[in-house]
Structure 1
């Protein structure tokens, strides 16, 4: 069975395929121009890193353009990071980037890795597990994080390692649900957010922990997050929509077969308003510079809004 990330890539690639060729080419060229001399991708400043490289590779993969010299240079960059000590976010970025390169270009960056490297990675991830069943952001962290628990789950799927005591993980995730619907990032948070809600629902889907009550509360919360701009906000305290929250919120609604609970036409207008004629996407109305991360969220949002209604993952 395909992992969550692999299913997501297929879904987004299907939706992207519905866009006009000139739109796809414009964004492809933007991304190719963002690849650094070392083969990686950087943020708005600084050097290449695993986080932004993952977004560059994900974007090119759903556009069908992760191949040839571009893919090989990216593989060379990822191989320089194999012996590093990375955060959970970077672990996932490295492993998922490697999976994309293997699937799209037939390049296996782990071909020379020592036997049992998957177990070593899993042990490192499990060192972040806390007594409540969730995972902390780092070794010093005491509080479990909804988002990082989801990331660990995705990593374990990608390296084909078992999930220990999945029911404890489900119990933690359920404890993060807000009374008003939606999910908190950490227990001390005072309100739910669009992005931790997406992480919680994604994890609960993988763990078969969703209930009708959870779905109903999540839908009520996400519908409230769409504002007059047409996009979705990060939480109730933030008045301005952003393309990250718009993507994660719409992905959650799509997973729950409820995208029509919001106004998709308004969401499409919002996402298009952040699209630059030279390629790339801004993060929100306040933004002035496109980058590879927000470009992935913009492309992903367009893909979700253009995916054929009869598309099935399983």
Structure 2
């Protein structure tokens, strides 16, 4: 049975005494710290070692640059607590010069980081995303899938929310919703592609966010809620699929977000 209190305890149990959050034990990392802080924010709670966490994140941020994901996590954490973002011009230039991306997720991370830094010109990114639009209403490099579709909408919404109205005329909007609905499985999850199985928590999160971004209500609320709640392990955290799996802060954030979105938290 789902327990909000156990979920909260799971998050706090991953907090490092010197700041940050860990996957289990040992050195904290920015990914788990990001998802832990976002989860606590949804639940209206604060970390116990916030001052130490922010000092640690600021120390990392002012040091050597790492990969795009780490940069995304750090910037979002600092923004969450109103800390001024300082980014080297050289790094800004590298990001703004990109016209091609290996995946839609990378395009989203690149766009999100630039947006946090105050960058405004995203015509190249918008054009690249729209090239991935498929006739069935989804997005993908070769065929449509729910994760690429989700990231495409997040990108376009970041670029300019008005773009959504300009691009998605009524006929394509219905196709897009139709594609998302086809990804929904009978157990309440959302699969990677229509007709595939099983569902994973990131697919369910993507399905919920697509509906939110399009201002639509997802079907089968109760099934989605039931599917998500059943992912909670005995330690209070959430696993990726309805089959056996370990609890992680990322999966826990996605589950808590879904339940909050569906007014089931």
Shorter-chain TM-score above 0.5: yes
Counterparts of 1:118 and 1:85, CA distance in 2: 9
- Aligned pair 1:199/2:151, yes or no? yes
Counterparts of 2:248 and 2:37, CA distance in 1: 13
The structure-2 alpha-carbon separation of the partners of 1:224 and 1:60, relative to structure 1 and needing over 3 Å to count, comes to same
Tell me if the contact between 1:233 and 1:240 (Cα under 8 Å) persists in the aligned partners: yes
Q: Deviations over 1:173-203 (max 9, x none)?
A: 111112222111xx3xx32221111110122
- Which residue number in structure 2 is paired with residue 271 of structure 1? 228
Task: State how 1:250-269 maps to structure 2 within 5 Å.
Answer: 250-260=208-218, 262-269=219-226
- Which residue number in structure 1 is paired with residue 249 of structure 2? 292
Gaps of 5+ in 1: 1-21, 103-107, 137-142, 308-314
Counterparts of 1:57 and 1:300, CA distance in 2: 12
Task: State how 1:157-196 maps to structure 2 within 5 Å.
Answer: 157-159=115-117, 161-164=118-121, 166-184=122-140, 187=141, 190-196=142-148
Counterparts of 2:252 and 2:111, CA distance in 1: 25
- Which residue number in structure 1 is paired with residue 80 of structure 2? 100
Q: CA deviation at 1:275?
A: 2.0
Counterparts of 2:55 and 2:196, CA distance in 1: 40
Tell me if the contact between 1:78 and 1:109 (Cα under 8 Å) persists in the aligned partners: no
- Which residue number in structure 2 is paired with residue 231 of structure 1? 189
The structure-2 alpha-carbon separation of the partners of 1:305 and 1:76, relative to structure 1 and needing over 3 Å to count, comes to same
- Aligned pair 1:126/2:83, yes or no? no
Tell me if the contact between 1:36 and 1:42 (Cα under 8 Å) persists in the aligned partners: yes
The structure-2 alpha-carbon separation of the partners of 1:226 and 1:152, relative to structure 1 and needing over 3 Å to count, comes to same
Counterparts of 1:156 and 1:33, CA distance in 2: 33
Counterparts of 2:155 and 2:64, CA distance in 1: 27
- Aligned pair 1:49/2:29, yes or no? yes
- Which residue number in structure 2 is paired with residue 6 of structure 1? none
Tell me if the contact between 1:251 and 1:304 (Cα under 8 Å) persists in the aligned partners: no
Counterparts of 1:44 and 1:237, CA distance in 2: 35
Q: CA deviation at 1:109?
A: 7.0
Aligned partner of 2:58 among 79, 101, 112: 79
The structure-2 alpha-carbon separation of the partners of 1:44 and 1:259, relative to structure 1 and needing over 3 Å to count, comes to farther
Give secondary structure in 2 for the equivalent of 1:253: helix
The structure-2 alpha-carbon separation of the partners of 1:250 and 1:204, relative to structure 1 and needing over 3 Å to count, comes to same
- Which residue number in structure 2 is paired with residue 70 of structure 1? 49
What TM-score, normalized by structure 1, do the two folds share? 0.74
Q: CA deviation at 1:95?
A: 0.3
Q: CA deviation at 1:216?
A: 1.9
The structure-2 alpha-carbon separation of the partners of 1:232 and 1:33, relative to structure 1 and needing over 3 Å to count, comes to same
What TM-score, normalized by structure 2, do the two folds share? 0.86
Q: CA deviation at 1:274?
A: 0.9
Q: CA deviation at 1:245?
A: 0.9
Q: CA deviation at 1:90?
A: 1.3
Please provide the CA RMSD for this pair.
2.5
